[in-house]
Structure formats: C-alpha cells, structure tokens
Amino acid sequence: MSTITEIFGSMVFNYTVMKERLPKDTYRELQETIRRGHRLDINVASIIANSMKDWAIEKGATHYTHWFQPMTGITAEKHDSFISPTADGNIIMEFSGKELIQGEPDASSFPSGGLRTTFEARGYTAWDPTSYAFIKDGVLCIPTAFCSYGGEALDKKTPLLRSMEAINRQALRILKLFGNDTVTNVKTTVGPEQEYFLIDRGMFEKRKDLIYTGRTLYGARPPKGQELEDHYFGFIKPRVAAFMKDLDQELWKLGILAKTEHNEAAPSQHELAPIFTTANISADHNQLTMETMQKVARRHNLVCLLHEKPFAGVNGSGKHNNWSLCTDTGVNLLEPGETPCENAQFLLFLCSVIKAVDEYQDLLRISIASASNDHRLGANEAPPAIVSIFLGTELNDILESIEKSTTYDAKAKEQLKVGVHVLPRFFKDTTDRNRTSPFAFTGNKFEFRMLGASASISDANTVLNTAVAQELKQFADTLEKADDFGKALNELIKKVIREHKRIIFNGNGYEQAWIEEAEKRGLLNLKSAPDCIPYLLKEKNIDLFESHRVLSKTEIHSRYEVMLESYCKMLNIEALTMIDMTRKDILPAVSAFSKELSETALLKKKINPENECGYEENLVKRISELSSAMYVKVGELESAMSEVKKITDAADSARFYRDTVFATMKWIRAYADELESMTDKKYWPYPSYGEILFSVM
C-alpha cells in the first residue's frame, strides 16, 4: 500500500518529473515559454515529447491523445498509439514534438455554431503547456486548446486562457498604482465544490429516463424525502464510503486536490470539494473529477448522476465556483489587508467585482444557463435566477460608511492618507453562510453559486475574469491620470458604491419580496435559458469580449448558436423519451392493472350481486380518466414535436420548446405521477423515487 504522498500526482507529468527527466536547458526553455506565453520551439517540443513518451510507457501507457473541451461542455479525446513501423518489419514507440504541440482530430461533428462551414471543416488542437499532461486508462493525455484553421476558438478552454491574460494585464496596472512593482503575474484561482447523486446501478438501468436524459421524467413523491434533513453531513454509508475512498485515490493519482467529501441535503446526494488552484487547471481538474466520479461509481455498481435536477421535489445538484485573484508573490488580492494601504487596494478589487457583477449580470446568468439548470434556479433550493451579491452585514456597513463619508467605527477613526478606513479583522469570520445568495463574498474569495453540477466551469470563469478585467481597466485609466492618487481613489470607490450598490443584497434570496425588490432596483430576472441567451448578442457584451480579445464577434455568434442548439436538443431527447415511456410502458401497465381490477369487480358481483366494489370501480374510473387524458396529451406532444421542426430561428425554436413542448410534458408528468401513486407496485414499470433514493446502503 503506497502512501498518499507517493500516490499524489503519480500519473502526472508535472514540474518535478520534468525537472528530473528533461535536460536542464530544455526545462528552462519550457519555463520561459510558459512565463512569456510564447509558442514552443519545435526542437524543444521534440525533446519534451520523447521524455514524456518514455515516462508514459514506464507507467504502462500505450496510446496518447490530445485532450480537449469542445463546446458540448464535456471533454473529448481520440487515441493514437505510440507505435510506428520500422523498415525491418518491427515497431518502435514514437512520439514527436509535432505530435505533442499540434493535433488534428477529425472533429467535424463537434458543435461549431456555424464556424466550420465558413472555414476549414477540421479543427486543430494545440498543447496548453500551462496544464500538465497526465495518464488516464493507459493513455497519455495532452491538455489542448481546440481551434478552427481560421484561429477561432471551438472550445471552452481557449477563451478561459484569454480571459486570464486579460485580467492579469489589468490587475498588474492596478498593483503598479499602489506601488507594487515586484508582482509580475496575477492568476485567477478557482475551487469548485461539486455536488452529485449516487444511486444503485440496477435501479438506474431500469429507468430509460435516467439513461437517456440524466433525470427522471416521471416519479411520484416518496413518503420520506429530505424533510428530516437527516442526511446532511450525516453518517456516510459503507458503500458510499468505499466509493469515496476509491475516488480520492484515483483523483490523487491525477494530481487533483480532492479534500473533503460529505453528504448533502438530499438523500443519496453528496459533495466533493477540492483545494483551489489556477483557473484553467481547476477547469481541467473539474472535468476529470466528473469523469472519474462516473467511472469509479460503475466499479462499485453505482451510478453517479451529475444532472442538475435528477429528481423532482428533491434538491438538485450545483457547483459552487470559489473565485479569487492571486499574485505570483502569493498574495490573495481579495484578502482584506493588515495595513490601510492594503485595505484600500482590497476595496478597489472588491469594487471591481461589484461593478462587474452589476454591469454584466446578463453574462453571468448566461454563463451558467442550460436546459438542465433551469430546473434548479429559482426553485427555492438554489439561488434565484436574479444575480446579486452578498457581502455580509459587516462589510456592507463599511461600504455604506465610505459612501456617506461617515466613520465606520469610532475606535478606528483614523482617516487615512488614502481616505479609506481601517477594516476590522473580524468581519472575515462573521460573513454568515447565506446559502440563498448567487454570488457571495466569503472572507477572501467570491463564491458563485449558480453553476449547475454538470456544467463546465470554464464559461462562468471566462465571464467573471473578463468583466472584472474591464472594470480594472477603467479604474486604471482613471487613476493613472490622477494628480492626487489618494483623492481620486477615494472618489472612485465612493462612485462605484453609489452607482452599483443595487446589486448588493444581504437578505433571503428565496423570498417573493426579493423578487419584487429586485425588479424595483432594475435588476434582471432572466428565468430560463431561452430568456437569457439572446442577451449574449448585446452590443455591450460583444464590445466587452472583443476589447479584451477574449472572443470575437464571430466566436460569440457561434457560441450563441451552440447554446440554443443544446437547449433544443436536450428538450427534444426528453420529449421523445417521454413519449416512448408513456406509450410502451406506462399506458400498457395501467391498462393491465385496470383489467385486473375490472375482472375482480365482475367476479365479486358474480359471487354476490350485493358485493361492494367501491375500490375497484372508483379506481378503474380514475385510472381511465387519467390515462385517457395522458393519451391525448402525448398526441399533442407529438404534434408539437413536428411543429417545432418547421421553426428555423434558433431562439424561436428554444422558446417553442419551453412554452409548448416542455409545458405539455409537465401535464403528462402530472397524470403519470398520480397514476403511479394508485397503481399496484407489480404493474408499475419503474423503480419508485423511494426505491432509488434509499437504495444505497
């Protein structure tokens, strides 16, 4: 049995391995290339490739792949073996520098939102040397960006990397203004907390809806749900504990800092939190975590569900994206400082986030939008669809006193040179855990809580980085010109608080009163994906992405198309699955049950015409009503499905899916769930919610 330190990162070609295996010059050149963000020299690449290959073969790898993150939000890979024939009929194991730095997956079926019809049909992948290569299932995986031949990003990683550069550029300008010349790099750090369900594989395989759509389209409420909250942080059942142990080992091998695992609010729901790291690595790691969870679950005869809402009426699964900025000198820029100057700098960065979240509410909402996440947001278990910031009362009071130029604390009333108050150290621990806030300051980082469990974290962080970069740019533009820095800084902070405090809300986000209040404040409430996606094309948003060179107008249009297309596809699959389940399983099952009831009633009457048959007769009547209504609605759903094919505009199509297809599905579900509650268990074709949710011991 190896120790954790031996296991950790054992399947990763990290700096330690590189230092050990690469010639000194090559190692230095690679470091230099990464630091400057330049393209890697082919000769250097060849040496690295060879060393990587030897290392991988020693670890049992036979193949390599360029691992990338297409716009589907999951990861893609195509395996090539290292073998290469020799003239004498033998083989050698080869991996060239060219193969390391660039690949050409035949990837024409990945969504491109029209990009590849105007450019080359095939895209290419390019190594991102800032994330480590690793071995997964005997395959050496090279993390790559995926682009078209015209250079357009076809993936989620490229914009994320570009947004990290953008925020780095602007943050450095701000730091310079505060007299900090030693910092050469500012990185975004992210720690995503991942929720998931774990259910028995046997149960899963009996449910077409889970198999095809990831969520249950039918299911009556179980007698016991999560009302007792006895699962939350509760005792971890042996089967689950064995899974978690195995999962940790697998993640550690990949160098993923899996740290805490616990039960969540709903039965069978759990959470995994990693230790935070640089945003792009964190995005890679989160993808690997999701994939590994599903793989390890299978080994334990379990299935890991990452859908945002697998069970109606039971809490869904999200992902909390903890986000901050860190300098290469190790300073967290969202950590309130010890000195007044550090505090002023902290407040300026805080203000950049406040302004960014207010001005780009729509983009943040879009960055987490999907058909599956629509089930969660605003359902009083996840944050509402309205974006707002929670700061906690302490920090809120401080901002208010700055705005009004009053002294926050009589004891700390030194009005300092920079015009900013001393921040009391205690507020960090008093930020209460307001679970209803979509965007909460938690002491030294922001926690964006609207992400769905299955989402790639890249989109949310790309938006966050770019929007904050934009505000920092404006701040730097103003402050660099100022004659009196302290005065200008003070005015700037005040102005931001005054103009953007509407986005700050410290109350209960689940209350109806907040929805009304938010409307009065002019905040957006974009309830569904089709409502918010069109905002992507707003001029201010295109300007934002273009001016920071994160996405071009063409790339934004392609993303817009892909998002709407995925929304429609998801609903299309759900509707087809529902039709299939209803026609082939549910209607025949209740019909058979009715037959049994009718025959029983007839028999009872035959024995004695005086016999009461209330149970049988009433039930047959109700089942008949419900199944007839259901049959009619399924017909309507089918017509809607042919109707939607005639719509050519993607946004119109998405709205039709939501308003007509999904609305009809809700009716059908209501009939089915009532039928389930009255049908003999032996006739009902699927395991019940109770059986699924309480099956793992």
Binding positions for ligand ADP, 377-396, rule CB under 6 A: none
Query: Which residue, 136 or 320, has its beta carbon nearer to Mg ion?
Result: 320
Q: How many residues bind Mg ion (CB under 5 A)?
A: 2
- CB 262 within 8 Å of CB 237: no
Question: Nearest approach, Cβ of 422 to ligand ADP (angstroms)?
Answer: 22
Q: Which residues of 480-508 are buried (b: 16+ CB within 10 A; e: fewer)?
A: eeeeebeebbbebbbebbeebbebbbbee
Binding positions for ligand ADP, 247-306, rule CB under 6 A: 273-276
Question: Nearest approach, Cβ of 280 to ligand ADP (angstroms)?
Answer: 13
- Which of ligand ADP, Mg ion, none lies near 63, with the C-beta cut-off 5 to 8 A by kind? none
Using the rule CB under 6 A, which residue among 18, 142, 190, 220 binds ligand ADP?
A: 190
Using the rule CB under 6 A, which residue among 46, 189, 370, 577 binds ligand ADP?
A: 189
Query: Which residue, 115 or 455, has its beta carbon nearer to ligand ADP?
Result: 455
The CB density around residue 649, as the number of other CB atoms within 10 Å, is 10
Query: Which residue, 190 or 654, has its beta carbon nearer to ligand ADP?
Result: 190
Q: How many residues bind ligand ADP (CB under 6 A)?
A: 15
- Which of Mg ion, ligand ADP, none lies near 662, with the C-beta cut-off 5 to 8 A by kind? none
Nearest 5°: CA angle at 442, between 441 and 445?
75
Secondary structure letter of residue 504 according to DSSP: B
Query: Which residue, 323 or 671, has its beta carbon nearer to ligand ADP?
Result: 323
- Which of Mg ion, ligand ADP, none lies near 189, with the C-beta cut-off 5 to 8 A by kind? ligand ADP
Radius of gyration for the alpha carbons in the chain, expressed in angstroms and rounded: 28
- CB 626 within 8 Å of CB 674: yes
Question: Nearest approach, Cβ of 97 to ligand ADP (angstroms)?
Answer: 34
Query: Which residue, 142 or 283, has its beta carbon nearer to ligand ADP?
Result: 283
Rounded CA-CA distance 555/538 in Å is 14
User: Tokens for 47?
Assistant: 């040496």
Binding positions for ligand ADP, 306-325, rule CB under 6 A: 322-324
Using the rule CB under 6 A, which residue among 193, 261, 616, 676 binds ligand ADP?
A: 193
Query: Which residue, 153 or 347, has its beta carbon nearer to ligand ADP?
Result: 347
The CB density around residue 443, as the number of other CB atoms within 10 Å, is 16
Binding positions for Mg ion, 183-222, rule CB under 5 A: 193
Question: With binding defined as CB under 6 A, does residue 226 bind ligand ADP?
Answer: no
CA atoms within 13 A on the CB side of 342: 12
Using the rule CB under 5 A, which residue among 157, 208, 270, 320 binds Mg ion?
A: 320
The CB density around residue 89, as the number of other CB atoms within 10 Å, is 6
Query: Which residue, 320 or 633, has its beta carbon nearer to Mg ion?
Result: 320
Binding positions for ligand ADP, 108-127, rule CB under 6 A: none
Rounded CA-CA distance 577/569 in Å is 12
Query: Which residue, 461 or 490, has its beta carbon nearer to ligand ADP?
Result: 461
- List alpha helices for 232-300, DSSP H: 238-253, 279-299
Question: Nearest approach, Cβ of 100 to ligand ADP (angstroms)?
Answer: 30
Residue 29, burial from CB neighbour count under 10 angstroms (0-12, 13-18, 19+): buried
Rounded CA-CA distance 435/382 in Å is 8
Query: Which residue, 320 or 375, has its beta carbon nearer to Mg ion?
Result: 320
- Which of ligand ADP, Mg ion, none lies near 34, with the C-beta cut-off 5 to 8 A by kind? none
Question: Nearest approach, Cβ of 207 to ligand ADP (angstroms)?
Answer: 32
Query: Which residue, 209 or 459, has its beta carbon nearer to ligand ADP?
Result: 459
Distances (CA, A) of 405 to 428, 476, 619: 23, 23, 72
Rounded CA-CA distance 14/485 in Å is 43
Taking alpha carbons only, the member of 645, 637, 660, 654 closest to residue 580 is 637
Which residue number has the CB closest to ligand ADP?
Answer: 191
Relative to beta strand 63-67, strand 139-148 is: parallel
Rounded CA-CA distance 493/585 in Å is 63
- Contact segment (CB under 6 A) with ligand ADP among 172-180, 348-356, 384-392, 440-448 equals 440-448
Question: Nearest approach, Cβ of 320 to ligand ADP (angstroms)?
Answer: 7
Residues that bind ligand ADP (CB under 6 A): 189-191, 193, 273-276, 322-324, 332, 442, 444-445
Residues that bind Mg ion (CB under 5 A): 193, 320
